[in-house]
Amino acid sequence: MSAFTIKDIAKICGVSISTVSRAINDDPKINQNTKGRILKVIEEYHYVPNNSARNLKMIESNTIALLIKGIDNQFFQAMLKIYEEELKKMEHTLLIHAVGEEQDDASVAIELTKEKRLKGIIFLGGLMNYPEEEMDMIGVPYVLCTVATDVDRPKRNCLSVSIDDEKESYKAVDYLCKKGHKRIAIITGRETDYAIGGLRLRGYQRALEDNGIPYDSELVRYMKIDIPEYSAANGYQVTKELLESGVEFTAVYVISDLTAFGAYKAIFDAGKRIPEDYSVMGFDGLEATRYYHPSLTTIVQPSSEMVKCSIELLMEAIAGKKEKRQLIMEANLLERDSVADINGKVQ
């Protein structure tokens, strides 16, 4: 029956075309009774998928989608090239999809799997607080890479690769304390950020406490809601206001390198020097930090290792491995020229 199509099978079985496609492609998530009914009709009518459909399946089944929340983030942009190179080695196609700041990551992923024949998804950045039931609707294996969760929520039981934001933030502030700084300002995320910003603020607070330094809320500065988050512009405006406030401090810890670049300019515009007047500490390890003057002391996230591990976890899941692993990577403190040792000096 040469004119018989996949639409005819769907109509006979009372299912959607995508359900028939899933049965043909042996999708493990399809209901087995439904699959059996579809395959019986296929056998009865001697239906054979045409070559173009078969070729399309082959192309699409090798596609890995990378969903990025914050595609303008320079830290993520550096990771993109590594994702492309690593997946190319494995003969997989990379589909890059930017998720808007106000968009629902899970909904975007669900819609994307409907439109494309994906083999898997990697979420890069963003906040993942969606119900497990909604995430299950994605229908393909997925891995979270550098994706945040609220500080007061339990860790999601899924495949993930990240750093310990609180621990690494503690490391940065403890370093400043050991350099003799007692008046340490912080530029953290927006006041409503209970994820990365909240975790790094916790690390800041804990480091101060362990070093016997009282917490001063006047030294805690949040990114502006009307300026792009984690941007140099945000860092400039917040630091400018901090300087103009008259609050005394000797060091400022900025939870993003790019935001720290804005802090640099605000300090220079105020006629001050780094690190002679104010020390500056960053976070991320952007390549550009080595070329600023003075070069920025920062916490370096292991971006290359995080990319490779997220791909490895995804491939294991695609191959059928059921274990849900959460890999926590170690970041490194890179000491450069932006922090002064003021031990012995009067503050």
Q: What is the pLDDT of residues 10-46, one digit of tens each?
A: 888 888 877 887 787 777 778 888 888 888 888 777 6
Helix residue ranges per DSSP H, 211-318 = 232-245, 257-269, 303-318
The per-residue pLDDT for 152 is: 61
Distance of CA 81 to the CA centre of its chain: 15
Residue bearing the bigger pLDDT, 344 or 330? 330
**For residue 6, what are the CA distances in angstroms to 30, 40, 48?**
17, 13, 9
Q: Where are the domains of the chain?
A: 6-47, 59-163+302-330, 165-301
Task: Work out the average pLDDT over 119-133.
Answer: 85
The per-residue pLDDT for 204 is: 98
**What's this model's pTM, rounded to 2 decimal places?**
0.79
165-301 and 59-163+302-330 share a CATH fold:
yes
Q: Are 273 and 334 in contact (CB under 8 A)?
A: no
Q: How would you classify residue 46: left for phi > 0, otherwise alpha for psi between -120 and 50, otherwise beta?
A: left
Of 3.40.50.2300, 3.30.390.10, 3.40.47.10, 3.30.830.10, the CATH number of 59-163+302-330 is 3.40.50.2300
Q: Are 306 and 285 in contact (CB under 8 A)?
A: no
Of 3.20.20.80, 3.40.640.10, 3.40.50.2300, 3.40.50.2000, the CATH number of 165-301 is 3.40.50.2300
50 pLDDT more than 70: no
59 pLDDT more than 70: no
93-102, 110-119, 307-316: which has the highest mean pLDDT?
307-316
Lowest mean pLDDT among 142-151, 196-205, 265-274: 142-151
Please report which confidence band the pLDDT of residue 151 belongs to, taking 50, 70 and 90 as the band edges: low
- CA nearest 254: which of 244, 246, 264? 264
Cα separation, 298 vs 280, in Å, equals 9
155 pLDDT more than 70: no
Architecture of domain 6-47 in this structure = Orthogonal Bundle (1.10)
290 pLDDT more than 70: yes
Q: What is the pLDDT of residues 242-261, one digit of tens each?
A: 999 999 999 999 999 999 99
Residue % of the chain over a pLDDT of 70:
91
